[in-house]
Amino acid sequence: MKNLFYPLACCVIAGALTSCGSGKKNANTQEEQSSDMVTLGYSKSLKAADTDSLQLPIDKDGYITIFDGKTFNGWRGYGKDRVPSKWVIEDGCIKFNGSGGGEAQDGDGGDLIFAHKFKNFELEVEWKVSKGGNSGIFYLAQEVTSTDKDGNENLEPIYISAPEYQVLDNANHPDAKLGKDNNRQSASLYDMIPAVPQNQNPFGEWNKAKIMVFKGTVVHGQNDQNVLEYHLWTPKWTEMLQASKFSEEKWPLAFQLLNNCGGDNREGFIGFQDHGDDVWFRNIRVKVLD
C-alpha cells in the first residue's frame, strides 16, 4: 500500500465549496459568506434535520476547521442537544475527563459528535491518551433508537452504526491483545482490520489520524502512513462483519446497520468515544470530496 493519500481535492471558487472539475456546490453545504468561510447546516437534536447553520473557516486546500480550540460550536453529545459535562476544552484541545472505570460509565458522559453529516471526505485529527487509555473515532454514524417490549424508546450505542478508528494505548490496554491479528490496536478498523504498520506513538504523546471515505473506499492513516484500506457496501465488507463481534448471529441490529452504514444517503456523523478514560483531540479538520 502506498504511503500517500489519494489525490482527491476540493476547490474554493468564488465563495462556493465545489469538487474539482465541477460547477456544482456540494449538497451538504450552503452559500458561503466569504472566500475563507463555509456555511454548514447542522442538527441540534436527535433525529432532527439540519435546523441551523454554522460558519467555519476553510483553508486554501479545502480543509474546514470543525473545532476552533475555544468552543464546542457545532458539537453536541450523541443523542443529546448539548455537550456532556465530562467533555471539556483544555489548552486548545477537546478532552474527555475519564473516571478510569472503562465502560462502567459515571457522571455526565457519553460520546461526542460533530452535528453535520459528511459523505465523501478526508478527516484529520491529532489525539493522545492517558496510560491504559481507550477511545475511538467514529464516522458515517447515525443516531439510532429502538423500541423495547414495553414500548419504551432507547438510544442504541453509536458503534453499532459506525465504523471505528481505534484509539488506544497499545502497550498498556488489554484490548490491544484481544480480537484477531492485532485488529483492536491503534488506527485499526476496530475488530476487523489491523493497522499495518503499527506506528503508534506511546501514551501521552500526540498521534495523527487521517480517515478518507470516498464512494465506499476507506483509508486509515496514522502518523503520515496509510495503515489500512477497505471497501464498504461490498460482499467483502459483509464477510468481514460476519467474522466480527458485529455478526448477524451475535448482534443482528449492528450487522444490519453496519452492513448499510451511512444509511440510504451514505453519509453520517463524525464522533469521539467516551470509553471512560482520559483522551484529547485537537487540530480537527475535514475536506469535503464530493
Give the chain's domains with CATH numbers.
Answer: 55-288 (2.60.120.560)
Task: Provide φ and ψ at 236, rounded to 5°.
Answer: -65, -40
- What's the rounded Cα separation, in Å, for the pair 213 and 118? 9
State residue 106's pLDDT score: 66
The pLDDT score that the predictor gives to residue 265 is 94
Which pLDDT score is estimated for 16? 35
Residue 49: the pLDDT is 74
CA distance 87 to 182: 29
Phi-psi region for residue 150, left (φ > 0), alpha (ψ -120 to 50) or beta?
Answer: alpha
Q: Which residues contact 48 (CB under 8 A, 6 or more apart)?
A: none
DSSP H helices in the chain: 235-242, 252-259
Question: Is 26 within 8 Å of 19 (Cβ atoms)?
Answer: yes
pLDDT, averaged per 10 consecutive residues of the chain (290 residues), comes to 37 34 41 68 83 92 97 96 96 90 70 97 98 97 91 93 98 94 97 97 98 98 98 98 95 97 95 95 96
Q: Are 269 and 74 in contact (CB under 8 A)?
A: no
Distance CA 57, CA 66 (A): 8
CB of 79 closer than 8 Å to CB of 116:
no
According to the model, what pLDDT value does residue 156 have? 95
Q: Residue 280: its pLDDT value, please?
A: 98
Provide the whole-model pTM: 0.86
